[in-house]
Amino acid sequence: MNSLIIIIMIIVIIMTIFSLIIVIRDLILDNKERKKIIIEVKKDQQIIEENKQNIKLDNLTTEKTINENNIKTFLALPKLTHLEKYMLLNEEKKSWYDEIINYAKEKENVKHRLTENYEDVKLYSKRVIRMVIKREEIICEFILGNNRFNDYMKQKNLNVKILPTQLKIDSIEAKDAAKESIDLTIHSIMEERNLKKELKKKGKIHEEKN
C-alpha cells in the first residue's frame, strides 16, 4: 500500500515538473515571438518614415521643377513695348492717357517722342512730361525744379541730380492734376530760360561798359 502511494506521488511530481517545463517553454517562445513582432513593427515604422521622407523629397523636387519651369516661362515671355501696354489699358484709362499727352503736345515749341519704353514731351530740351505704363497703371513723371536752387548749385559747381516726381493716374482728379503739373513745368522751364537770357544781357552790358 505504501509502495503504491509512493509511486502515485512520484508520478504526480513528474507530471508537475513536466507541466512546469511546458509552461516555461511556452513563456520563452512567447517572449521570442514578441521580440520578433516588436522588431518587425519597428522595421515597418522605419520603412513608413523613409517613405514619408521620400514623398516629401519628391514633392519638393516637383515644386522646385515647377517653379524653375515657371521662371523659365516667365523669362521667356516677350517684353511689351509702351504702345502694346497702352493697348492693354481699359477705355477709361486710355481716355485719361490721351487727354494728358495731347494737352502737353498742344503747347508751343514742344517736341513729342514715342519710344519702346515711354512717351514724353520736351520743351527746349527740357522734359515737360514722361508717361510710362507699369502693370496696366499710368505713371506721369515730372521734373519740377527750383530755379533759384539750381542756379545756386551751379554757382557752387555742385552736380545735383533731381529725381522725377511720379503721379499715378487712377482717377479724374489725378488726370486733372497731371495737366496742371504740365503747366507748372512749362512755367518753370520758361522762367529759367528767361533768367538765363537776362543774365547774358547783363553780362554783355557789363563788358561794353568796361
CA-based end-to-end distance of the chain: 167
pLDDT at 100 over 70: yes
Strand partners, 194: none
pLDDT at 72 over 50: no
Instruction: Return the higher-pLDDT residue of 164 and 14.
Output: 164
For residue 209, how many C-alpha atoms fall within 13 Å in the half-sphere facing its CB? 6
- Looking at every residue in the chain, the average pLDDT score rounds to 77
The alpha carbon dihedral of 20, 25, 26, 30 has a sign of positive
- Residue 83: its pLDDT value, please? 95
Mind listing the pLDDT tens digit for each residue in 118-154?
999 999 989 999 999 999 999 999 987 666 666 666 6
Q: Which of 175, 199, 87 is nearest to 136 (CA)?
A: 87
- Residue 1: its pLDDT value, please? 56
- Residue 34: its pLDDT value, please? 55
Whole-angstrom distance, CA of residue 70 vs CA of residue 182: 42
List the beta strands (DSSP E) in 43-87: none
Q: Report the range out of 10-14, 27-31, 86-90, 191-195 with the highest average pLDDT.
A: 86-90
- In one-letter notation, the amino acid at residue 75 is L
- Residue 137: its pLDDT value, please? 97
Q: Which of 178, 143, 188, 148 is nearest to 161 (CA)?
A: 143
Domain ranges of the chain: 1-77, 82-209
Whole-angstrom distance, CA of residue 125 vs CA of residue 97: 22
Within 8 A by CB and 6+ apart from 93, the residues are: 136, 138, 169
The angle formed by the CA atoms of residues 106, 111 and 116, to the nearest 5 degrees, is 110
Q: Which of 125, 156, 161 is nearest to 145 (CA)?
A: 161
Burial class (CB in 10 A: 0-12, 13-18, 19+), 103: middle
- Residue 75: its pLDDT value, please? 47
CA dihedral 19, 22, 25, 27 (to 10 degrees): -70
- Residue 196: its pLDDT value, please? 84
pLDDT band at 54 (very low <50, low <70, confident <90, very high): low
Q: Which three cell numbers stand for residue 134?
A: 507699369
- Residue 109: its pLDDT value, please? 94
Q: Which of 158, 140, 139 is nearest to 149 (CA)?
A: 158
- Residue 22: its pLDDT value, please? 66
